[in-house]
Amino acid sequence: MRQLILDTETTGLNAKTGDRLLEIGCVELVNRRLTGNNLHFYINPERDSDPGALAVHGLTTEFLSDKPKFAEIAEQLREYCRDAEIIIHNAAFDLGFLDMEFGRLGWPPFMQNCSGLIDTLMRAREMFPGRRNSLDALCERLGVNNAHRTLHGALLDAELLADVYLAMTRGQESLVIDDGEGDESNDGVPREKISLRQFDLPVILAASEEVELHDGVLNGIDKGMKGTCVWRKEPEPQEGETPAAT
Binding-site residue numbers are 7, 9, 57, 157
Binding-site residue numbers for a divalent metal cation are 7, 9, 157
Q: What angle do CA 169, 175, 179 make, to 5 degrees?
A: 145
Instruction: Please give the C-alpha separations between residue 113 and each of 122, 193, 200, in angstroms, as whole numbers.
Output: 22, 42, 48
**CA dist., res. 21 & res. 16, Å (int):** 12
Amino acid at 122: M
148 is catalytic: no
113 Cβ contact partners less than 8 Å away, ≥ 6 residues apart:
78, 81, 82, 83
Q: Which of 40, 89, 148, 152 is catalytic?
A: 152
Positions marked catalytic: 152
